[in-house]
Amino acid sequence: MGFFDFVKNVGKKLMGASEAQAAPAPALTQEVASHGFDTSKLQIDSSGNNVQLSGTVKSQEEAERIILALGNTVGVAQVDTSKLIVQAETPAAKMYTVKKGDTLWKIAEAHYGKGADYPKIVAANNPPIVNPDLIQPGWVLRIP
């Protein structure tokens, strides 16, 4: 898949993380599992601000959502998926970095032509979106 860049000082703060470095691999693995993903076929390693994700996932959507769960945590500047195997290849979604002043309505208007389609973005981004009224600049969102 490749490399995905994130804003390292934005997102959920995990135990052992700082702006200088990502959380340790066990904390990152636990974060992925907390969102309902099977981590038994994944290997997650962290070094400084970089996280390497390897192993096997079922689909492109699952891979993208796991990447977002990892990347939208404090201390992660890049997620490397070059060693990740996706069993069922499907078209990749667009990734969008939230800017100051953005709302999900505005983002949906820009990408779908209709702001009322913002629930599609919410559904594709849990994590990091828990409350559709609270998004943060710097978050990277999946736009299906």
Distance, in Å, from the CA atom of 41 to the CA atom of 39, rounded to the nearest integer, reads 6
| pLDDT at res. 81 | 98
**pLDDT score recorded for residue 91:** 83
pLDDT number for residue 90: 81
What is the spatial distance between Cα 133 and Cα 104, in angstroms, rounded to a whole number? 8
For residue 85, report the phi and psi dihedrals to the nearest 5 degrees: -105, 125
| Low pLDDT (below 50) residues in the chain | none
Query: Looking at residue 133, what is its pLDDT?
Result: 93
Q: Which residues contact 123 (CB under 8 A, 6 or more apart)?
A: none
Q: Rounded CA gap, 65 and 32, in Å?
A: 9
Q: What is the pLDDT of residue 94?
A: 94
Give residue 100's pLDDT.
97
CATH 3.10.350.10 in the chain, residue ranges = 94-143
94-143 has which CATH code?
A: 3.10.350.10
